[in-house]
Amino acid sequence: MTGASRGIGRAIALSLAAAGLRVAIHHRDSQALADAVAEEAPGGDHVVLRADLADPDEARMLARRAATGLGGLDVVVNNAGIFLAHPPARTDWATWHATWEETLRVNLLGPAHVVFGALEALADGGRIVNVSSRGAFRGEPDSPAYGASKAGLNALGQSLAVALAPRRITVTTVAPGFVETDMANEALKAPRGEAVRAQSPFGRVATAAEVAEAVRWLALDAPEWMSGAILDCNGASYLRT
């Protein structure tokens, strides 16, 4: 699974390992953190892999290296992502262009290339779960590339659900709102943090473990007929029809 050294990815890796899976723990530049996840994860025999998902060849080969290290693939989880602020009215052209390029490479093209690399090894009846965002639906005015990349990831998952159904491979997506992670840390600081928490009638944001539980269910226990679904996981902070 991608982006597994911290935050949501770490929680997903630990949850899948606790369910009995051997896990390929991917990171880009956090070797020590990824090693710590591998040591903490139940079951042992996990694999730690480094790759820059902005590089198409590294993204494609990551899945193949994971299959080699694990002796095959049953589940692929695309979790890695970046969130970069670039408000349209306050961003210069060079930053705007660079931010769009980097965000789409990591958040959308990266998962697409990981799946392409995985298909040779992914077992028939396997599962692909993508981690998207509430922002794909409500918009991200200060980070439009992030919102657009996650909307594209939703569409990618639905396209793959149709394309891979003949192999009985299910493809689903989880769309969280704010989660207590390093990525969201700045937004959760006072005074803005109170307003963010108030977006949910529960008066809080999600824990990484809650999102991980949704991913684990889709990866292991959800019925095949869930394929193509996008599962909201935002504490009723954003309701769509």
Selected catalytic residue, list 54, 62, 136, 146: 146
Q: What CA–CA distance (Å, rounded) separates 128 from 20? A: 17
* Residues ≥6 apart with Cβ < 8 Å to 171: 127, 128, 129, 130, 157, 158, 160, 161, 164, 227, 228
Contact 78, 111 (CB under 8 A): yes
Inter-helix orientation angle 56-70/110-118, to 10°: 40
Backbone φ and ψ for 235, nearest 5 degrees, come out as 60, 35
Q: What CA–CA distance (Å, rounded) separates 131 from 112? A: 13
Of 174, 179, 161, residue with least CA distance to 231: 174
Paired tokens of 124: 């028939």
Amino acid sitting at position 82 = I
User: What is the distance in angstroms between the CA of the first residue and the CA of the last residue of the chain?
Assistant: 30
Of 150, 172, 138, 76, residue with least CA distance to 106: 150
146 in catalytic set: yes
Could you list the active site residues? Answer: 146
